Structure 1
Amino acid sequence: MAIKKSELYSSLWASCDELRGGMDASQYKDYVLTMLFVKYVSDKYAGDAMSLIEIPKGASFEDMVALKNQPDIGDRINKEILRPLFAANGLEGSMELVDFNDDDKLGSGKEKVDTLSKLIAIFENPGLNFKNNRAEDDDVLGDAYEFLMRHFATESGKSKGQFYTPAEVSRILSKVISVEKANKPSYTAYDPTCGSGSLLLKVAEEAPNGLTLYGQEKDIATKGLAIMNMWLHGYPEAAISGGNTIASPNFKEVDGALKRFDFVVANPPFSVKNWTSGINAMDDEFNRFRGYGIPPEKNGDYAFLLHIIASLKSTGKGAVILPHGVLFRGGAEGEIRKNILQRKWIKGIIGLPANLFYGTGIPACIIVIDKEDVESRGGIFMMDASKGYIKDGNKNRLREQDIHKIVDAFTRQWEIDKYSRIVPYSEIEKNEYNLNIPRYIDTQEEEDVQDLNAHLNGGIPQKDIEALQEYWEVYPNLRKELFTPLREGYSKLNVAKSAIKSTIFDHSDFTAYNEKLDVIFEEYREHNHARLNGIDQNTKPKAFIKSIAEDLLERYSNRPLIVRYDVYQHLLDYWNETMKDDVYLLVEDGWVAKVKRIIEKNKKSGKETDKGWTCDLIPKQLVIDKYLVKEQQELQDLEAKIEGIQAEITGLEEEHAGEEGLLSEASNDKGGITKSTIAAFIKENKSNPNEKEAVKLANTILELFTKEADLKKSLKTKEYELDELTLAKYKTLTEAEVRTLVVDDKWLASLQAAIQTEIDAISQRLTGRIKELAERYENTLGELDNHTKILEDKVSAHLSTMGLVWN
């Protein structure tokens, strides 16, 4: 039975993190990812003579499993597994192997044996089976690797998280350099500071037939990760080199010149202080600085940018992440920037939100370079995308809608108010080649100005009503119903503030527009119904979600009041939270609703407890709502009766349990009444004639407690019976019923409900603004003065009565 991938990743991280002990995450990641690597290549290539990767006999993951609990496990993993595996594939000496026999990091003796044995056991999870994974384009490996890398980067802190570029940013870089046009694998892509290789791989994903990959990484351990990452993702032939890219670029032509590539992407370390180490910039053999200038000795941002420009072919395209300072800093950098701009090689600049990256919290930008067709380029496409993100723990993260909007605007060169525009070179020249984005894109929201005339004489300013024109174009008659001209330039509100919301919600214009939006969703449902039902073992999840998401985006394009990217985000949120797991299950298991027991294991005792059953694909409530309505109603009726009795007891308690109440002596220390305190009070006072009325009331409450207890027993029985009936129904569900429950009752119903929140928000925004204006100009200054005078007179009268007089 397939395992939910989201649960698998979370479990994998939790288990690994638990074993980390005091080791820094940036070091521990090397052990975990090496283990993932050995597991993957063993599952995928062991025993395959035709494979590009050779798994020597005795060096597979299964052989590693056999080493569990052996006293020399660490030394044998090094000598019997890792070294033979890398040597057989020509990697001996090209990467630093993580030491599984390091006492300082893993402990010594039994501690090390237990840690490594448990770590191996984690990767024996049946969900981590790469051998028969069907969803080839979006398999468990890629997601597991991405999940672990993100978590390790988060845990590693500012100074040690630079090995990983957030996947969302990597996707933008890969999409804005036209990689999709590279239809042959012979096209080349290069990352001069490749880290663990994630950015390079994202670029390769965008190419229809892959790319030939090159990367250089200074940190030896991280370079090893990059090599393994290439293997893990089907690029064992990728050329990953070590060393300092600026001082010693390793990729050269036969004549010794710098090798040039079709695509270059990079996320270099920001503002490196010692970039000149190992290089005489004045006499650079690759002429990277000639004609531009030499970057400041203590800031290497432009050194990396110039290296990237020099590494591009004459038609090459690149994208690099750099701090905002490169856009406006003066001195030597200003001169370099001017020389680059005069060659028209910068196609665009994308300003990103702050705090996206693991190595720093400062805001950064993407500089897009394109050496092709520079003669016809009249300016630079600038974008301020700094406000589109979501908080994710202590970092900010780009949402799917943010990525899509950035890519759409850039690739289609859309000019969007307060977001993006093409800035002519003449304007840049007038600004002395300063590229600071706020100089060219004003993102400031217009100030909500108070109208003194309205405050003095009443009425709502016409300019504020006109500012809602996008609503009036959709609801033309609603405006007439809400407002009547009062005098020139001002109107009065025709309804009470409390009635604004209902007036909008009930208006025919509003309902008519809602119906139009409902039709759009119904058309979407009809168009995609067969596609949703057509999921089988050949379905490719990435292609699948892309097709249904792009169709949704297109259908809500150019619709007034509703933002298509917000609608798109609802689908992608649902995909990531629920639907992606469902599609994996369907690819693996088919259209069957498999149930499983929920077994909870106590970490300390190891004891397992049965917590019932569940179904990952179809929630219980869906089956109950569809097939067991009568039984569910009976259960709800019992719950209602119990709530009624509890309310009755609470009412009697509030009335009679206080200090002066009839049942004050029947209360506990906290002043409340329980069944036991009532029973004790009756037993003690049943023969006391002075407490006759109290005893009678106590008996009434005791009967209510008894009735409540009986009903709770019946409720528990009903819940058990309903659970058993539900389980029995699951066992008889036909494939057609499963399809209906999943596609119609779960997926489409959830998506429609989410989109409805966007539709509801339209009226809520309009209601909120009109109510704000109504409250702002509700009373004129004269009315407020009169009201204040009345209150002052009342206070003076009270003070006078008290013998106090103001002088």
Structure 2
Amino acid sequence: LLDAVIGLAPNLFYGTGIPACVLVLRAKGSKPAGREGKVLFINADAELRAGRAQNYLDPEHIEKIVNAYERYTDIPGFAAVVSHADLKGNDYNLNIRRYADNAPPPEPHDVRAHLLGGVPKAEVAARADLFAAHGFDPAHLLVERDARYFDFRPELNSNGDLKARVEGDAGVQGKEKALTDAFDAWWNAQQSRIEALPETKALMALRAELLASFGNALVPVGLLDRFQVAGAVATWWGEVVFDLKALMAGGFEGVVEGWVTTILTALEDGGAKGTPLDHKLVKRLLPEYLGEIGGAEGKVVELDGILKAATASGDDDEDAEGGDGDDDEALSEAEVKALKKELSAAKSKLKTLHKGFSDRLEAAQAEVDAEQAETLVLDILKADLRRELDRRVVAHRQAVVAAVEGWWSKYRVTLRAIESERDAAKDRLDGFLKELGYVG
């Protein structure tokens, strides 16, 4: 009867702070071939987005859980297929961590390296898969000391040098470019499916095809695993699904019209989160206008700062008792008055620009024809997906940086060096005390 046991993160459901568990049951004899006599355990208690009062399952977390269930196979640290015989041997204990433990391994510490320095080769070998995935060769940071240890290259002087060396590494940049090229090729191949959505109306079929083909195109690059790749496209789909529904119903021009309506509605709602000027459509339709807004805002900030500084300087001069002030730097009353007038004009200009936003946006929309609308929407959809992919690439690169920075923090300064610094500080202190006559 029992098909799967899925452990979820704590505080996902309202009023329930404890972790949750999903039991997947099937009618007797209805298990698919290959699943008879087995139970799948999925440990998804780390799959969450933390909120202030509650945690959340995002589309990428759901996709990872569903993908693991559909594959019904062992995934280290996440899923395990357990036979009924093993369950019976454990007295039918369904504790998920017993079978799929996702606890991270303890941080290794080499006592000899702490004492004498050096990076243990065993720790470098343990990170080989992480480095290879991102195209990074640790030999660009390390040189061999002996059969068991590496040293950091002598030109590396601080922890900060490590990040710059990793990010500038040719292998790292080449791997990231390979992923970008694979993404561009995938988009060019799949774009026609999105273009055909107003005719096909096959929204869910499109989702399935994009998920499958995205993984097939990007996973072979080797930088991101299949869960990270699927998470990128699943998160993107969750963000743009309503835009795709609008595309299915009203075509590309309907999507643009919907975005404009959303922006204008947010503009009327003063309590709306964020600013309509940050919308992805505005940045593409009104780049010159945004430049004018930025220039006007900068002018207001500049004049306001000068005026506040002049006012503060004047107050200080009045409070000062005696002494010669620097009259050359102080603004005269006429100059302050002129500055206030200029600031008022700058604020008025900025206000006028903001008031004209709706008219300029609608005018820009009116100039967009069907072909331009298609190009605009597809470019925005592609940029959104690229952003999700880049976010995961950056996280993976940061994991590489964190690994080498961890070795620097642990082993770069040896115990002997710390003791030497301590002894030198003690000698300096003894010398000061002798000079002051406190000790003989």
Note the 1:652-731 alignment, pairs <5 A: 656=313, 659=316, 662=317, 664=319, 696=331, 699-720=334-355, 724-731=359-366
**Contact 1:458/1:780 (<8 A) preserved:** yes
Verify the 8 A CA contact 1:349 1:380 in the aligned structure 2.
yes
Displacement, 1:766? Answer: 0.9
Indicate whether 1:408 and 2:88 are aligned: no
What is the rounded CA distance, in whole Å, between the counterparts of 1:429 and 1:778 in structure 2? 50
Higher normalized contact order (CA 8 Å, seq sep 6+, divided by chain length): 2
Q: TM-score, normalised by structure 1?
A: 0.47
1:103 — aligned with what? none
CA distance in 2, matches of 1:770, 1:653: 51
Q: CA deviation at 1:531?
A: 2.0
User: What amino acid is aligned across from residue 580 of structure 1 in structure 2?
Assistant: V
8 Å CA contact retained: 1:618, 1:742: no
CA distance in 2, matches of 1:394, 1:691: 56
Q: Does 1:783 align with 2:440?
A: no
Q: Give SS of 1:364's match.
A: strand
Cα distance in 2 between the residues matched to 1:691 and 1:473: 64
Seen in structure 2, the aligned counterparts of structure 1 residues 648 and 412 have a Cα distance that, compared at 3 Å, is same
In 1, distance between residues paired with 2:25 and 2:221? 31
Q: Is the 8 A contact 2:116 2:414 kept in 1?
A: yes
Q: Report the CA distance shift for 1:591/1:698 in structure 2 as closer, same or farther (over 3 A).
A: same
Q: Return the alpha-carbon distance in structure 1 between the equivalents of residues 14 and 52 of structure 2.
A: 12
Q: Give how far 1:440 is off.
A: 2.6
What amino acid is the match of 2:415? L
Aligned residue for 1:366, secondary structure, equals strand
Tell me the distance in 2 between the aligned counterparts of 1:542 and 1:464.
45
Q: Tell me the SS of whatever aligns to 2:151.
A: strand
The alignment status of 1:560 with 2:222, answered yes or no, reads yes
Which position in structure 2 is the counterpart of 1:210?
A: none
Aligned: 1:752 with 2:386:
yes
Structure 2 match to 1:773:
407
Q: Please say if 1:536 is aligned against 2:170.
A: no
**Residue aligned with 1:353, SS:** strand
What fraction of aligned residue pairs are identical, expressed as a percent? 19
Listed one character per residue, the Cα deviations across residues 72-120 of structure 1 (whole Å, up to 9, x for unaligned) are xxxxxxxxxxxxxxxxxxxxxxxxxxxxxxxxxxxxxxxxxxxxxxxxx
Task: Describe the superposition over 1:392-430 as per-residue Cα deviations: whole angstroms up to 9, x where unpaired.
Answer: 564444332333333332332221112222223443333
Distance in 2, Cα, partners of 1:748 & 1:507: 27
Amino acid at match of 1:728: A
SS of the residue aligned with 1:404?
A: helix
Looking at structure 2, the residues matched to 548 and 697 of structure 1 have their Cα atoms a distance apart, in angstroms, of: 67
Once the two structures are superposed, the pairs formed by residues 138-149 of structure 1 within 5 Å of their partners are: none
Deviation at 1:624, TM superposition (A): 0.9
Size of the alignment, in residue pairs? 421
How far apart in 2 are the matches of 1:622 and 1:722? 14
Matched, 1:503 2:194: no
Distance in structure 1 (CA, Å) of the matches to 2:24 and 2:266: 52
Identify if the C-alpha distance between structure 1 residues 506 and 411 changes in structure 2 by more than 3 Å, giving closer, same or farther.
same
Is 1:518 the counterpart of 2:180? The answer is yes
Partner letter of residue 245 of structure 2?
Y
5+ residue gaps, structure 1, are 1-344, 603-607, 666-688
Within 5 Å, give how 1:295-694 maps onto structure 2.
345-358=1-14, 360-362=16-18, 363-369=20-26, 371-372=28-29, 377=36, 379-391=38-50, 394-474=53-133, 478-494=137-153, 495-496=156-157, 497-536=159-198, 539-577=201-239, 579-592=240-253, 593-594=256-257, 595-596=260-261, 598=265, 619-625=281-287, 629=288, 631-649=289-307, 656=313, 659=316, 662=317, 664=319
- CA offsets per residue over residues 553-574 of structure 1, 9 Å max, x none? 4433354341333343344334
Alignment CA distance shift 1:433-1:590 (3 Å): closer
Contact 1:356 1:395 in 2 (8 A): yes
**In the alignment, is the contact (CA less than 8 A) between 1:470 and 1:561 conserved in 2?**
no
RMSD, aligned α-carbons: 3.7
Summarize deviations over 1:759-783 as a string: whole Å, max 9, x none.
1222211112211211221211111
**More helix, by proportion:** 2
Residue 467 of structure 1 aligns to which amino acid in structure 2?
A
For residues 652-691 of structure 1, the C-alpha deviation after alignment (integer angstroms, 9 at most, x for no partner) is 567x3574xx3658xxxxxxxxxxxxxxxxxxxxxxx999
2:142, 2:71 → 1: CA distance?
Answer: 41
1:739 is matched with which residue? 374
**Residue matched to 1:793:** 427
Asked if 1 retains the 8 angstrom alpha-carbon contact of 2:286 and 2:361, the reply is yes
AA at the equivalent of 1:448: E
Matched to 2:361, the amino acid is T
Q: 1:382 to 1:727 in 2, by over 3 A?
A: closer
Q: Secondary structure at the residue paired with 1:487?
A: coil
Going from structure 1 to structure 2, the CA distance change for 1:441 and 1:538 (only over 3 Å counts) comes to: closer
Quickly say closer, same or farther: Cα 1:426–1:591, change in 2 above 3 A.
closer
Cα distance change of structure 1 residues 692 and 541 upon mapping to structure 2, 3 Å threshold: same
8 Å CA contact 2:63–2:234 kept in 1: the answer is no
Q: Give SS of 1:434's match.
A: coil
Residues 805, 560 of structure 1: CA spacing in aligned structure 2 closer, same or farther, 3 A cutoff?
farther
In 2, distance between residues paired with 1:705 and 1:790?
60
Does the residue aligned with 2:197 lie in a helix, a strand or coil? coil
